[in-house]
Amino acid sequence: MSELLRSIAMRLRELISDRRRAPRYRVRLPLSVTLIDAPPVAPGSRKKLSLDGHTRDVSATGLAIIVPAIRLGDRYLTGEDRQLRISLELPTGPVEIFAFPVRYEQLAAEEADDIGFLIGVQIAEMSQEDRGRFERFIALLSRHR
């Protein structure tokens, strides 16, 4: 889908209806993204390529993340059947989130605060401990709304 059509579809979604079930909270948190099936940085290394970015908003079921590029090495973050590992920095420490990208758009140059790509991800899995900390953070955001 061309970027123009993607932009039009996003605007229509905003005007007609918002299908989101979980409330979203606008918050900027630092994060790091890696592809689950990405090869290591160097042969024999356990470290994988990653991109640093931040959130635009969060909910109990998903995140809107902003990253400077849509590719990590030679692989697209938003390719079919991609799973992302996101290390999200909460005020209480990092949580690890496994998520699937569900949509993306290139941000317009006019949006000076955010440069790069906006990726909407659906949370697939978290450890029980991380899920508890994440949900407590969401509850805190909902009280300050």
Distant-in-sequence, close-in-space partners of 122: CB < 8 Å, separation ≥ 6: 61, 62, 99, 100, 102
**For residue 55, pLDDT beyond 50:** yes
61 dihedral zone (left: phi>0; alpha: psi -120 to 50; beta): alpha
Write the DSSP symbol of residue 22.
S
pLDDT of res. 97: 98
Helix (H) or strand (E) holding 130: helix 128-143
Nearest partner of 19 among 6, 9, 29, judged by Cα: 9
pLDDT of res. 59: 97
Percentage with pLDDT > 70 across the chain: 77
Write the DSSP symbol of residue 79.
S
Fold of 23-143: Thrombin, subunit H (2.40.10)
CA distances from 30 to 14, 19, 39, 63, 95 (A): 26, 26, 24, 12, 11
Distant-in-sequence, close-in-space partners of 104: CB < 8 Å, separation ≥ 6: 70, 77, 78, 117, 118, 119, 120
Percentage with pLDDT > 90 across the chain: 61
